[in-house]
Chain A
Amino acid sequence: MKMPEPNEDVIRRSGELAGALAAVLPQGAVLDREDQRRAYESDGLTAYRQMPLMVVLPETTEQVSKVLRICASFGAKVVPRGAGTSLSGGALPLADGVLLGMARFNRILEVDYANRCVVAQPGVTNLGISDAVGTEGFYYAPDPSSQIACTIGGNVAENAGGVHCLKYGLTTNNIQGLEMVLMDGQVMRLGGHHLDQSGYDLLGVMAGSEGLLAVITEVTVRILPKPQTAKALLMGFNSVQSAGDCVAAIIARGIIPGGMELMDGPAIRAAEAFAGAGYPTDAEALLIVEVDGTKQEVNVLAERVSSIAADHSATTIRASTSDQERAKFWAGRKAAFPAVGRISPDYYCMDGTIPRARLAQVLGQIAVMSERYGLGVANVFHAGDGNLHPLILYDANNPGELERAEKFGADILRLCVAVGGVLTGEHGVGVEKRDLMNEVFTEQDLAQQQRLKCAFDPDGALNPGKVFPTLHRCAELGRVHVHGGKTRFPELPRL
C-alpha cells in the first residue's frame, strides 16, 4: 500500500512540533515515546500498520483548533481517530503525521427529550448514546456491530450503518448537527436541534467523509422512541435463491421490516456451532426478519411474513414468542464474525453492496472464485439494504494466503460493482479500497470529489492517502480551462 511520501522536514522537526503541541495541551496529552505510539499503529484493519509520528489527545474544541493550526504551520499531516475500529484503515497513521485521538471527548453534553435529540462529544460510544436515553424509552437507531466500542464521531466520519438501515437509515439520516474544526483551525457549527439546515448540506457531506474534510468535535443525533414491541422470525430455505425471492416478495407486499438478515450455509453452521441459537444446520440459507412497532402492527406483519415464507418453500419458520427468544435468534447472527473466526485462523471481512435481486448470482460467482483461489468463504447479508459481507477464510501463517485473500476480496468488490452495486456499504474506502475507486468513478468524478476536499483543506493535510487513489494538488485541480472560440452548437434545440 503506497502512502504519501513522508515529509522529512516534519520528521526532523518532530521534537519542536511536540513541544509546540504540548504547550497548548494538558499535561500528558502528547505521546511521542515509542511504547506509547505503538498502541495506535493500526485500527480494525490490522493487516496495515504504521507508527505515527506522535499522538495527541486534546480535550476541548479550542485545543483541537490550536493543534490543527500548529500542525498546519509545520506542514504536518493529521490523522483523526475515534476508537480505532475502522475496518478499512481509515485511522491508519502516517509516519510523518500527528495522530489526533478524540477519545477524551467522551461526554454527553445535552439530552433534549422535548426535541428528541442528544448532543454528544465525538468520543462517546454509539451504544453510550442509547444507554443514556434508554431509561426514558428512547434509543439511537444506527447500530453497527462494533457499537459497544465505536465512537459517534467515527460513525459520522464513516457514515456507519447496522442491521436497521432499511427502515431507520444510516448515520447520515440520523444526525442533525455538528461542530467541526477545519485544518486552518476555524470552528464552525452545522444544524442543531431543528430539522434541515439552510445553505449547502454540509452535514450530508461530512457524513462518510472519512476524516478528510474536518475534525468533528460535537455531534447532535436524533433519538427515537423505542418500538413498543418487536418479533423475530427465523426461516430456513433449501437455496439462497428461494430466500432471496422471499425477501423480494416481502418488500413487494409493502413490508419494510426493522431488520432483515440472510446467512448462507457455511455462515449458518459456523454461527450455530458457536452460539447454539437453534439454527437449522441443514439449511442452505437462513433469513432472520424482525418486525417492530405497536403490538397490533407487529402481529399483523409477522403473520404476513410467515405466510410469504411458506409460499417460498421455507423449510423452517419460527416466530419468537418472547424477547428472550428473539435475542436468541439474533445471537447467532450477531456472533457470525467471531464464529467464523473460530473455524478459520484468520478471516477477511468484505463489505460490498448489490441490488438485492442479484444475490443468488453474486453468491454463485463468489463460490466459483472460492474454488479458484482455494479459500473458503462464508456470507452474511443485510438483505434489507443489499449490503453483503463475505468473510474470506485464510491463514496468515501460510505464505501468500493473505495476498490471495486480498485479491479474492478485490475480485468480489469488482463483481459487486459489475452487477450495479458499490465497493463499500458501511465500512468505508479508507486505504483498503482506495485503489479500487477507479472501478466505480471516472477521473472526472474523483477530481470533483477532490475539489470539494480542497474547499475544506487546500493543503491536503487532513488524512491524506485515504479514499483517493491519486492525490492532486488543489492548484492543479482548480485550474480553469476555457475552451475559447468554440461553435455555438448549432445542433442544440433552442426555444
Chain B
Amino acid sequence: MTEVFAPSNAKQVAEVIVDAAAAGTTLDVRGGASKVDYGRPVDADAILDVSALSGVGLYEPEELVITVGAGTPMMEIQATLADANQHLAFEPPDYDYVLGRAGGGATIGGVVACNLSGPRRIGAGAARDHILGIAAISGRGDAFKSGGRVVKNVTGYDLSKLMAGSMGTLGVMTEITLKTLPSPEETRTVLAFGLDVTGGLGVLQRAAGSQAEVTGMAYLSSGSATGSSVGASQSVTALRLEGSGPSVAARGKALSESLSESKVEILDREGSLTLWAEIRDCKMLRQTGYLWRISVPPASGAEVATRIGASCDAEFLFDWAGGLIWVVVDGDDSHPEDIRNALVGASGHATLVRASKDTRREISVFQPQPEPLADLSGRINEAFDPHGILNPGRMVAGQ
C-alpha cells in the first residue's frame, strides 16, 4: 500500500519533501483528492496529503481579503464568505460531477493549483486573478512566499500566478490569500429559446460587446438543455445579469426586448442560481464518455464546434460567450487529433478532462506546447523541483 504522509503544518510539509529528496522518492500531492483523476496520472512512491492544513486564518470582509490553509474545503470557505454576503468572484467550479465523485471533497489548494474558474471568468477573471498571495514549500523543501494580502502589489515576481495552474508540480502551497468580493445583490437570467448554435452564440457575442454588463453567457444545445433545470426541449441561450435590484430589472427588460425574434423568458433569482451552478459544473452533460474542455477565442466557438461535430459524435456546452466549449465524445476514441486540429487557425487549447487512466497516460491531456516554450517550462520546473519529487508527470510526461 502506498505510504501516506499527512503533515499538519508547513514545517512538516518541508520535512516530508526533504526526506523524499534524501530517499530519492516521489510524492503525489493532494488535498481533498477530488481531482486525482484530472490531468496525467501520477505514479508516485508516496502520497503527501495536505488536507490537515485547513482552516480560515484571517477574514476581513471590509478589506476584501481571506487567508486560508491550502487544504481548507471549498464548502467551508464558501460558507464563511456567505455569512458576510461575499464570494469568490471567479465562481470556482466543482469537478466532482464530471469526474464521477461523491462531492464535497474539493479544497482551495486544488482549485488554485488547477486554476479552475466558472462562468463569471469572462468578466471577473480566472482563479489566478483573485489570488493575492501564497506560502509554499518548493521541491527543495524550502519555504517561500509571494504576494501579500493587498490587491495592488508589484513587489517581486508574481510567483502566486505561477503556482496557479501548475498542478502541484512546482511547490506545495500551504497557505493562500484570496481577494473576496460582495455577492451580487440581485440575479436574473434572460433565456432565449430555439436559436441554432451560430444564432445563439451571435446573441452572446453582441451582449459581451454591449454595455448591458452581462456576467454569464452560455449556450445549451437542445440535448443539454433537456438535462438542465430549465428543462427545455429546445436550445437555450442564457444571459445572466447581476447588480442592484432596479438595475437588473431594467437591463433584463431591455435585453428581452432586443431578443424579440425568439421566445424569451426571464429566470428569477432562485432559478438563475440553480442554472448557473449547473453550467459551472457541467451538470447537464452526461457523466459518461470522454470530456474535453476547450478554450478558444469566443467568436470562433461555433466554427470550432462545427469542425469537431463533423469528425466525431459529440455533445456541446458553450460558456464564456463561446470561448469555453465542453465536449462530450462518445465511443472508444477520444479523438485528440480531431479536437486539436479543429483549433488550427484559432488560438486556444484543449484539455482532456475525463478519460481512463490509460488514455490519460497515452495522449497529451493538456495542449502540447511548442518546443521553446516547453523547454522554458521544463527549466522552470527544475528551478522549483530539481529532484522531480512533486506530482511527477502530472502535466507533461517525464516532468
Contact = CB atoms under 8 A, between A and B. Distances in A.
B311 interface: no
Contact of B347 (A116, A192, A226): A192
A272 interface: no
Given A196-B295, A300-B244, 17 more contacts: A172-B129, A172-B161, A188-B370, A194-B348, A200-B380, A202-B376, A253-B182, A254-B85, A353-B148, A422-B155, A442-B144, A446-B156, A449-B159, A478-B382, A478-B386, A493-B7, A495-B49
B383 interface: yes
A81 interface: no
B91 to A, nearest CB: 13
A425 B154 contact: yes
Nearest to B8: A493
Max chain B Cβ within 10 angstroms of own Cβ: one of A115, A116, A177, A447 = A115
Interface stretch (B18-26, B69-77, B97-105): B18-26
A387 B153 CA distance: 9
Contacts of B283: none
Interface stretch (A320-328, A369-377, A484-492): A484-492
Nearest to B165: A201
- Place the interface of chain A in its size category: 35 or more
B155 A424 contact: yes
Interface in A359-380: none
Interface of A: 112-116, 137-138, 158-159, 161, 165-166, 169-170, 172-173, 177, 182, 186-205, 207-209, 225-228, 248-249, 251-256, 293-297, 300-301, 353-357, 382, 385-387, 420-429, 433, 437, 440-442, 444-449, 451-456, 467, 478, 480-486, 488-489, 492-495
Contact of A200 (B7, B61, B165): B165
A221 to B, nearest CB: 14
B21 A448 contact: no
Contacts of B213: 293-294, 297
A72 B170 CA distance: 29
B19 A195 contact: no
Interface stretch (B191-199, B246-254, B273-281): B246-254
Interface centre among B15, B151, B296 (most CB of A within 10 A): B151
A182 B149 contact: no
Given A201-B128, A208-B158, A480-B386, A297 B150 contact: no
A205 B162 contact: yes
Contacts of B376: 182, 188, 202, 455-456
Nearest to B386: A480
B297 A112 contact: yes
Contact of A228 (B142, B161, B208, B211): B211
What are the 7 A-B residue pairs with the smallest beta carbon separation, nearest first? A204-B161, A192-B347, A254-B182, A114-B299, A297-B247, A193-B297, A425-B152
Interface size class on chain B is 35 or more
Nearest to A355: B63
A480 B6 CA distance: 25
A449 B243 contact: no
Interface in B299-345: 299-300, 320, 323-324
Interface string B229-265: 0000000000000011111011100000000000000
Contacts of A300: 244-247
23 contacts: A114-B299, A116-B209, A177-B347, A196-B115, A201-B128, A201-B161, A204-B158, A225-B211, A355-B149, A385-B150, A385-B152, A420-B148, A425-B150, A441-B145, A445-B156, A449-B156, A452-B383, A452-B384, A455-B382, A478-B382, A480-B386, A483-B21, A493-B52
Given A194-B323, A296-B246, A495-B4, A355 B153 contact: no
Given A294-B247, A448-B142, A456-B376, A201 B63 contact: no
B140 to A, nearest CB: 7
Interface of B: 3-8, 12, 15-16, 18-19, 21-22, 49, 52, 60-65, 85, 115, 117, 121-122, 125-126, 128-129, 138, 140, 142-146, 148-162, 164-166, 170, 181-183, 185, 205, 208-213, 243-247, 249-251, 295-300, 320, 323-324, 346-349, 351, 366-367, 369-370, 372-373, 376-377, 379-380, 382-384, 386-387, 395
Contacts of A301: 244
Contacts of A248: 62-63
Grouping DSSP codes into helix (H, G, I), strand (E, B) and loop, the A interface class, with mixed when no group exceeds half, is loop
A327 B15 CA distance: 58
B294 to A, nearest CB: 9
Nearest to B125: A173
B243 A492 contact: no
B164 A204 contact: yes
Given A194-B348, A467-B156, A495-B6, A113 B182 contact: no
Given A200-B162, A421-B148, A448-B384, A437 B295 contact: no
A303 to B, nearest CB: 10
Given A187-B372, A195-B122, A205 B158 contact: yes
B243 to A, nearest CB: 5
Nearest to A384: B151
Given A199-B369, A204-B164, A296-B251, A455 B379 contact: yes
B155 A114 contact: no
Contact of A492 (B15, B126, B323): B15
A182 B371 CA distance: 14
Give the one of A197, A441, A449 with max B CB within 10 A. A197
B46 to A, nearest CB: 9
Contact of A494 (B5, B211, B373): B5
Contacts of B164: 201, 204
Contacts of A192: 297, 347-348
Given A199-B395, A296-B250, A444-B142, A452 B162 contact: yes
A448 B250 contact: no
B85 to A, nearest CB: 6
Contact of A426 (B154, B160, B370): B154
A492 B5 contact: yes
A489 B185 contact: no
A225 B209 CA distance: 6
A202 to B, nearest CB: 7
A424 B156 CA distance: 9
A445 B161 CA distance: 15
A187 to B, nearest CB: 7
A198 B323 contact: no
Contact of A251 (B62, B149, B154, B251): B62
A353 B19 contact: no
Given A194-B349, A225-B211, A294-B250, A488 B166 contact: no
Nearest to A445: B144
A486 B23 CA distance: 9
A198 B263 CA distance: 38
B209 A494 contact: no
A187 B386 CA distance: 25
Contacts of A194: 295-298, 323, 346-349
A437 B380 CA distance: 22
Nearest to A245: B62
B115 A429 contact: no
B128 A204 contact: yes
Nearest to B147: A422
A422 B19 CA distance: 34
A116 B182 CA distance: 26
Given A173-B125, A440-B156, A489-B15, A454 B144 contact: no
A136 to B, nearest CB: 9
Contact of B185 (A228, A254, A478, A486): A254
B150 A355 contact: yes
